[in-house]
Amino acid sequence: MKYTPSVVDTHGKAMSSTNFLEIKNLVKAYPTPDKGNFVVLDGVNLTIGENEFISVIGHSGCGKSTLLKIVAGLEKASSGSVRLDGKEIHKPGAERMMVFQNYSLLPWLTVRENIRLAVDEVLKNAKNAERISIVNQHLAMVNLTPAADKYPDEISGGMKQRVGIARALAIRPKMLLMDEPFGALDALTRGKLQRQVLDIWENHRQAVMMITHDVDEAIYMSDRIVLMTNGPAANIREILEVPFPHPRDRSAMRNSKEYFELRNHALNFLDKYFTQEE
Ligand SMILES: Nc1ncnc2c1ncn2[C@@H]1O[C@H](COP(=O)(O)OP(=O)(O)OP(=O)(O)O)[C@@H](O)[C@H]1O
């Protein structure tokens, strides 16, 4: 039987979510040396709810990172608008925290100091005791208390990524932006960290936008999956609603007919666009 997504919405009117993040008619073009423009994103519309976990999937180079960077305020849109909680995004802000694939920790600071630096930077009005408590709480949340005084080059990739996640969460952002956060990890570490991030998110719900190349990861973690067309001039072709309530049991889910159909639908979508490009 062919899978029919429960939501196919390329105009951003998500049925089950509020418009916490609102991306409207977003276009991003880079100037080229011949004075033309290279259009990366062309007319992206998307809304994300306050407590919603969204994954973005698309072929390499279609503009996923560009989209995330615009939401982070690290890149500017050529036209269109991006609003968070009603406010236009023009620059980076502490209400949107980014987790990168390559960890991006400061190597001369310990695990604890990496998290503390972000807390000091953002929670300027908090008293010292409160800052210490926030750092300790977030170290514990990602099971890093025993490694708190180690330096980044003394810990594994999975641990580094947990520091990145704890650092992002410690400043209590309204939205978490993750660019292939588990991409550099081995399968076992990846699975464990996916579960850990979900545990945290299930207890402290917030808006999450995660880029991934992994369909299983997207189904396991997110409420909706955004499928992007190939670039140039990419946009959103389909949005799939993931029909499993949280917390999710990965193995039970994987054995269900819905999972199989959703997975095949997403993989067929990617195959179709890959074939068209060739
Ligand atoms: N600063 C820039 N100047 C010019 N072109 C750029 C710039 N940044 C990105 N691009 C181009 O925009 C397109 C989209 O890049 P982007 O990194 O957003 O893709 P992606 O979907 O995240 O790719 P991947 O999955 O491989 O990480 C690519 O063709 C890239 O070369």
Domain residue extents for the chain: 21-95+173-277, 102-155+162-169
pLDDT tens profile 43-52: 999 999 999 9
Residue 245 DSSP label: P
Q: Which ligand 1 atom lies nearest to the CA of residue 63?
A: 18
For the chain, give the percent of residues with pLDDT over 90. Answer: 74
Ligand 1 cavity residues, CB under 6 Å: 30, 38, 40, 58, 60-66, 231
Superfamily covering domain 21-95+173-277 = P-loop containing nucleotide triphosphate hydrolases (3.40.50.300)
Mean pLDDT of 85-91: 94
pLDDT tens profile 236-268: 999 999 999 999 999 999 999 999 999 999 999
> 79-84 and 21-31 as β-strands: parallel, antiparallel, unpaired?
antiparallel
Please tell me the distance from the alpha carbon of residue 269 to that of residue 2, in angstroms, as a whole number.
12
Q: How far is CA 70 from CA 32, 81, 83, 176, in A?
A: 19, 10, 11, 13
Residue 7: band (very low, low, confident or very high) from pLDDT cuts 50, 70, 90? very low
Residue 231: band (very low, low, confident or very high) from pLDDT cuts 50, 70, 90? confident
pLDDT (0 to 100) of residue 6:
52
Indicate whether this model's pTM tops 0.80. yes
- Give the distance (Å) from ligand 1 centre to CA of residue 62: 7
pLDDT tens profile 126-182: 999 999 999 999 999 888 999 999 999 999 998 999 999 999 988 889 999 999 999
Q: Of 65, 69, 228, 235, which is best to mutate to test ligand 1, by the most ligand atoms within 8 angstroms of its C-beta?
A: 65
Please tell me the distance from the alpha carbon of residue 234 to that of residue 180, in angstroms, as a whole number.
19
Q: Which ligand 1 atom lies nearest to the CA of residue 234?
A: 14
CA-nearest of 239, 227, 272, 229 to 8 is 239
Residue that is written with structure tokens 């991409």 in the block: 183
ipTM: 0.97
